[in-house]
Amino acid sequence: MSGIGTDGNSRASSFDRRIDGLDVAAYTVPTDAPEGDGTLAWTSTTIVLVRASAGGATGVGWTYGSTGCMAVIDDDLAGVVTGRDALDVTGAFDAMVKSARNSSRPGLVGYAISAVDVALWDLKARLLGLPLHKLLGSVREDVPVYGSGGFTTYDDMRLRDQLELWARDQRIPRVKIKIAESWGGREGRDLARMRLCRETIGPDTELYVDANGGYTAKQAVRVMAAAQDLDVRWLEEPVSSDDLAGLREVRREVRADVAAGEYGHDLVYFRRMCEAQAVDCLQADASRCGGITEWLRVAAVAAAYGLEISAHCAPHLHLHAAAAIPNLRHLEWFHDHVRIEGMFFDGTVDPTGGALRPDPTRPGHGLCVRDADIEAYRVR
């Protein structure tokens, strides 16, 4: 798997490393059942897939978001990265961010930059013949995960089945469900579902909950007090992630670790959250915040404040980067994205035992697109 030839030079030095261009497509996949959380419901998920090519190799990146990302990539970003040296990924990232000044980076533009950045990292690793986590500098062989889903739209039987899959069959030692149904309007059902979760997984599996910003600060504190006997270990977005004072208030009053950050789009966002002492663990999503380049820098910001970082969703996108940072807590094994990534790619990994392991024999992130299988879902 070495990327060094017999003459001591990298394989990538023997051919044109200039990026040929970007190809982008969008696919919408129906969920296997209606899904919802405290503040939103959905019946399909769109994945925007980017391919970057150079020197006869192709890298793949993606984001989960609107088809509007395609126009940003085609009209704005492709021209910025085409012709650049494929090994200079950070330079390409910097150029994309600077080019987006007047378009505003948060939202679609950030998602688009993220997808391209991931494709470029995959491309670079493939050109060098290296697994991506080795190129980044691996810290660990195993990446801890937690099972994530438990949608508010599930009935008790479906919720129980999902929890048993994770905790019993796959032996994942931590699981998360959604709460704050109807913007916090159904506290009784939230507590009943949390109790069902604890009864199903037993005392030894860690229980996590995610309110998706559906509570007020005092409401979140009251709900967690009512659930004190359930030993909830993780409380995600009890209030809006923009309400740093509210997050700090909840964090001060509850036993569970408070987490937020999944909507962060640049280093300043995450620095402010850390400075506000708003979280016990920082979340970041490489499919939103700026790809692997920015995600690694966010991890460094968290480390500077003595915090661990948790990778939000898109587990196969995050896997190699998560293996390359010292202050990782875990990665989210999110039902919706696990299902889509299993449909779209060969080379996906197994969470059995509660951890993922990057394949050291496959270059890049180790995934290959199943073009024939996914064409039916293509929307653009």
What is the layout of strands, in order, in the sheet containing 57-64?
Answer: 21-36, 41-54, 57-64
Phi (first) and psi of residue 56, to 5 degrees: 85, 5
Token representation of residue 101:
């000044």
Whether the predicted pLDDT of 5 surpasses 50: no
DSSP string, 27-51: EEEEEEEEEE-SS-EEEEEEEEEEE
Averaged confidence pLDDT in the chain: 95
pLDDT of 7 reads 32
pLDDT of 16 reads 80
The angle, 0 to 180 degrees and rounded to 10, between the axes of the packed helices 187-201 and 217-226 is: 40
pTM of the model: 0.95
What is the number of helices (H) and of strands (E) in the chain? 15, 14
Residue 129 and residue 124: Cα distance in Å, rounded? Answer: 9
Token representation of residue 204:
């030894």
Q: Do domains 11-130 and 134-369 have the same CATH topology?
A: no
10-21 average pLDDT score:
74
User: For the purposes of burial, counting CB atoms within 10 Å of the CB of 121, is it exposed (0-12), middle (13-18) or buried (19 or more)?
Assistant: buried
What residue segments make up the domains of the chain, in order of their start?
Answer: 11-130, 134-369
Whether the predicted pLDDT of 4 surpasses 90: no
Q: Are 97 and 133 in contact (CB under 8 A)?
A: no
Partners of 341 in the β-ladder? none
Q: Which of 4-18, 36-50, 151-165 has the lowest mean pLDDT?
A: 4-18
Whether the predicted pLDDT of 6 surpasses 80: no
Whether the predicted pLDDT of 12 surpasses 90: no
Percent of the chain at pLDDT exceeding 90:
94
Pick the CATH number of 11-130 from 3.30.300.30, 3.30.390.10, 3.40.50.1100, 3.40.640.10: 3.30.390.10
Look up the CATH architecture of domain 134-369. Answer: Alpha-Beta Barrel (3.20)
- Written as one letter, the residue type at 234 is W
pLDDT of 163 reads 98
Compute the radius of gyration of the chain from its Cα atoms: 21
| 27: number of Cβ within 10 Å | 21
pLDDT digits (tens, 9 = 90+) for 64-108: 999 999 999 999 999 999 999 999 999 999 999 999 998 889 999
Q: Are 336 and 43 in contact (CB under 8 A)?
A: no
Q: How do beta strands 143-148 and 174-178 pair?
A: parallel
Q: What is the number of alpha carbons within 13 Å of residue 347 lying toward its C-beta?
A: 19
Q: Are 309 and 328 in contact (CB under 8 A)?
A: yes
Inter-CA distances, 254 with 258, 287, 320, Å = 8, 30, 33
Q: Which residue, 296, 236, 307, is CA-closest to 267?
A: 296
pLDDT digits (tens, 9 = 90+) for 174-208: 999 999 999 999 999 999 999 999 999 999 999 99
Consecutive H or E run containing 297 = helix 291-304
Whether the predicted pLDDT of 273 surpasses 60: yes
| 8: number of Cβ within 10 Å | 6
Consecutive H or E run containing 250 = helix 244-253
Locate the DSSP E strands across 170-304: 174-178, 206-210, 232-236, 257-260, 281-284
